[in-house]
Amino acid sequence: MEDIKGARSRFKEAFEAKEAKISDRFRGGRGLLWSLDALKDTHDMYPVAEAAVNLIPLLSSFSLQSADKQHQLRQAVGLASDAAALALHVGKGPLAALQLLETGRGVLAGSLQNIRTDLSALQQKFPGLAGAFVHLRDQLDAPAQQTSLEPTQLTSPTKMSPVDPDRRHKASLQMDSLLGDIRSRPGFERFLASATEEEMREATAHGPVVVINVSSYRCDALFVERSGVRFLALRELTLDGLKARANSLESVATLAWLWDVVVGPVLDALGVTGPPSGDTWPHVWWVPTGPLTRFPLHAAGHHSKRSAETALDRVVSSYSPSIKSILHTRRQRRREAGVASGPNVVLVDMQETPRQNWLSHAKRETHAVQQVCEAIGLPCNQPLANKKDVLIALETCKILHFAGHGGAHPDPLRSLLLLKDWEKDPLTVESLLETNGSASAQFLAYLSACGTGRIQDDRSIDESIHLASAFQLAGFRHVIGTLWEVDDGLCVDMARLTYEFLGANGLSDESVSSGLHYATKTLRDRWVERQAGTEATERASDGNRDMVLRVDAKPDRPLWVPYVHFGV
């Protein structure tokens, strides 16, 4: 005990050393929290946790490249969720908990969104400040200067010229000073600052946002609605329960458990107690935290009961890494910038990929998408399936449909879509983050590949950086991705049904999430019918479950589960 008290004193000294490096102060704060927890001194934990969370954005300065930011932020994983749980525990309320989560999670994405923000209002009132911001932004948003003598392989106008580290550091200091200047002007006091309660409520214009906070201290649902913010304690949800089911995410038992402990109580609290009475479906935006980000909240339920005890039968679901991400995308949408001349739909089918399994249905999938798109007047183009040509094609497209292999990497910045040249010049998350398509109006990226919304490394889970979020950061308002491996054959039906819905209902923000919901629910209903038929066959066989019967039943896995919508 005395050793822990001694450690607490040393950690406290490091944490409060204002002249020390931010990373050293932050490590002192985490150590101080550990010692306070070990000493059961919960009274002092919350103010320490709050102060430590406020240091997290400083770990990711403007001057750092994405890879360096990612490395720095790994040491902060889980802290924001613990701080939010402590805020509720000591009675600070749901708004304080939400603000801690918004400050300490999604920092890398938030820094990119900040420097790519819409400047139209600033340009109108203070054009000089807007011009200075753009000048510094272009330096900070550019890739690092190459250390090799090889010329850059990509000459796309959306990829900035490299900047040397000293120049970037100077630009970072100038940006900090400029932000202070901008915030001193009337009407811009909160320019690029964290969201207020009023701004959070702005994110619920089309439906509530539900943040599910997961911590070893407690788990809660935090509701952001037009009427305000509130919370619901999820007493049956625990970290141990999530870890126990981490390897059975698509099992029927896990989907039922997820309904019982999370989604069912949340929808009941929202007053969504059954299917909609008309054609208008309620829409919920889910913001899971911690290991819950890997779980399919949208697919939770007791599906075999054929009751309304499922998310699919009550709401349309979308996902977001944070509330600020929803706000950023909605604000970008207001500009309504035109699309550059060129094809509206870019189709990439990787039926044949070097050193990968043959995808026999990929070409059939893109053909089905092409038929629907051309029928509603959207011309299609299939560029050469290499990184350079695909990135150039993205600059002028409204829709990207990729059917092929995806690869989730323990380092999320190295997750990739596999093109013809994936071994020599891969299309990675990091390369997508170096592009900035927000000046044009990319609408939908449909990534029909394995694990495009998956994070493998627990240390990176708070940043929610994966292929789907990278396409959002590259300028797409909507992304359809996957949580894990997908079935090649079912991909065709999921895509065809989704695009048919878009064709019948038009390209709108509502139609993308509703289209995926329609497709998923249709395929779920077919799965339930097949499952009922299999059960009848098993009963008729007097219980003889031989090897042939087991093989025949294997397709009854719920293959419709992993498809998810990110966006507004």
Is 104's pLDDT higher than 70?
A: yes
pLDDT at 121 over 60: yes
- Higher-confidence residue of 165 and 208: namely 208
Give the pLDDT band of residue 402 (cuts 50, 70, 90).
Answer: very high
pLDDT at residue 536 in the model: 47
Cα distance between residue 155 and residue 391, in whole Å: 10
| Residues 178, 129 contacting (CB under 8 angstroms) | yes
What does the pLDDT average to over 81-106? 95
Contact criterion met (CB below 8 Å) for 359 and 137:
no
For residue 170, give the nearest of 63, 74, 260, 303 by alpha carbon. 63
Mean of the per-residue pLDDT values of the chain: 86
Q: Is the pLDDT of residue 157 over 50?
A: no
In the DSSP assignment, the letter for residue 143 is P
Q: Residue 256 has what pLDDT?
A: 97
Kindly tell me if the per-residue pLDDT of 193 is higher than 90. Answer: no
Query: In whole angstroms, how far apart are CA 368 and each of 332, 353, 497?
Result: 31, 20, 10
Position 62 confidence tier, pLDDT thresholds 50, 70, 90? low
- Inter-residue contact 168 to 152 (CB < 8 Å): no
Q: What is the pLDDT of residues 411-459, one digit of tens each?
A: 888 999 999 999 999 999 988 888 765 556 789 999 999 999 998 888 8
Q: Which two tokens stand for residue 73?
A: 């932020």
Structure tokens that stand for 47 in this block:
């103010």
Write down the pLDDT at residue 497.
98
Predicted local distance difference test score (pLDDT) of residue 279: 87
Place of tokens 């901008």: 182
Q: Do 70 and 108 contact (CB within 8 A), yes or no?
A: yes
Q: 245 pLDDT exceeds 50?
A: yes
Q: Which residue has the higher pLDDT, 133 or 91?
A: 91
Most confidently modeled range among 1-10, 34-43, 492-501: 492-501
Instruction: Identify how many contiguous H helices and E strands the chain contains and give both numbers.
Output: 23, 14
Model pLDDT, residue 194? 76
Crossing angle between the packed helical segments 2-15 and 22-38, to the nearest 10 degrees: 150
Please state the rounded mean pLDDT for residues 176-196: 83
Instruction: Please measure the distance between the N-terminal and C-terminal CA atoms of the chain and give it in whole angstroms.
Output: 51
Buried b (16+ CB within 10 A) or exposed e, 391-416: bbbbbbbbbbbbbbbbbbbebbbebb
Both tokens assigned to 133: 């911001």
Q: How far is CA 395 from the centre of its chain?
A: 22
Please give the pLDDT value at position 367: 96
Q: 80 near 56, Cβ under 8 Å?
A: yes
Stretch 184-210: mean pLDDT: 88
Q: Percentage of the chain with pLDDT > 90?
A: 57
* Longest alpha-carbon distance in the chain: 81
**Which one is the CATH code of 339-519+559-567: 3.40.50.1460, 3.30.1490.20, 3.40.640.10, 3.30.420.40?**
3.40.50.1460
Quote the percentage of the chain above a pLDDT of 70. 86
What per-residue confidence (pLDDT) applies to 544? 30
The predicted pLDDT at position 553 comes to: 42
**Which pLDDT does position 167 carry in this prediction?**
76
Q: Which pair of structure tokens corresponds to residue 329?
A: 């995308």
| Dist CA 554 CA 499 (whole Å) | 28
Q: What is the pLDDT of residue 437?
A: 58
* Per-residue tokens: 315: 């709401």
What is the mean predicted confidence (pLDDT) over 478-483?
97
pLDDT of residue 61: 61
For residue 336, what pLDDT is reported? 46
Residue 343's pLDDT is 59
**What is the per-residue pLDDT for 163?**
54
Residue 502: exposed, middle, or buried by beta-carbon count in 10 A (0-12, 13-18, 19+)?
A: buried
Query: Tell me, what's the pLDDT at 547?
Result: 26
pLDDT at 40 over 70: yes
Specify the range with the lowest mean pLDDT, choosing from 141-145, 148-152, 378-382, 533-537.
148-152
pLDDT band at 549 (very low <50, low <70, confident <90, very high): very low
Q: How confident is the model at residue 187 (pLDDT cuts 50, 70, 90)?
A: confident
Q: How confident is the model at residue 75 (pLDDT cuts 50, 70, 90)?
A: confident
Instruction: Indicate the range of 5-14, 31-40, 161-170, 370-379 predicted with least confidence.
Output: 161-170
Q: CB of 313 within 8 A of CB of 275?
A: yes
Q: Average pLDDT, stretch 331-356?
A: 73
Residue 548: pLDDT above 50?
no
Is pLDDT at 153 greater than 50 in this prediction? Answer: no
Helix (H) or strand (E) holding 557: none
